[in-house]
Amino acid sequence: MKIQKIERQKKDKNRFSIFSEDGFVAGVSEDTLARFGLRAGDEMELDRLREIEVYEDFSTAKKDAYAYIAYKPRTISEVIRKLKAKKHSAGAIEGAVEILTEQKYLDDKLYALSYAAEKLRSKPIGKELLRRKLLQKGVTKETVDSALSETLPEEGEVELALIALKKYSPKLREDDNSKRKAKCYRHLMSRGFSNETAYEVTRMFLEEIK
């Protein structure tokens, strides 16, 4: 097959359409065009065309991944899901993720640390809630546990739970101690604190306000 002509696409100036004597063959990025040195008049075997298509898929997947993380930090799992949704092949996705990881644009440990710190700045919440949210984003359990042990040691979580109850205290209008205890406990559980932390901090807090 001979390349009859190569034209810049009207809708995307960074992409080109390749034509043979039989018509349209493929659309490629400027990166792919330069990498393979494609020119009008070149002969192109089917194996060569397949190689170009594979590289083009990888190149486009990489571009899509960069665009996706440009808006805000993402986990590896989130990037993979995004690229799958765009119908990239498994090989192209693997290659794009590997490149972004090597370049430190993807780092689940750093993401987990940053995510936890940001959430804790906005309001006091517990480890369990942070753990659930990070696991939902595809961060591995080992990475989550490592990040949270650095961001929120046990004594820090107790302090946060006390802050949460102090902010919640204006809503404790009941004179009945058992009702106040139940409300405090439920509030801490809803904020993602563990059962043990919620129970212990509720006890400490009610002792303080007697």
DSSP state of 157: H
pLDDT at 100 over 90: yes
pLDDT tens digits, 105-122: 999 999 999 999 998 888
Domain 46-106: which CATH class?
mainly alpha
CA distances from 22 to 4, 18, 19, 52, 110 (A): 9, 11, 7, 18, 51
Provide the residue ranges of all domains of the chain, joining segments of one domain with +. Answer: 1-44, 46-106, 111-152, 155-210
pLDDT tens digits, 58-68: 999 999 999 99
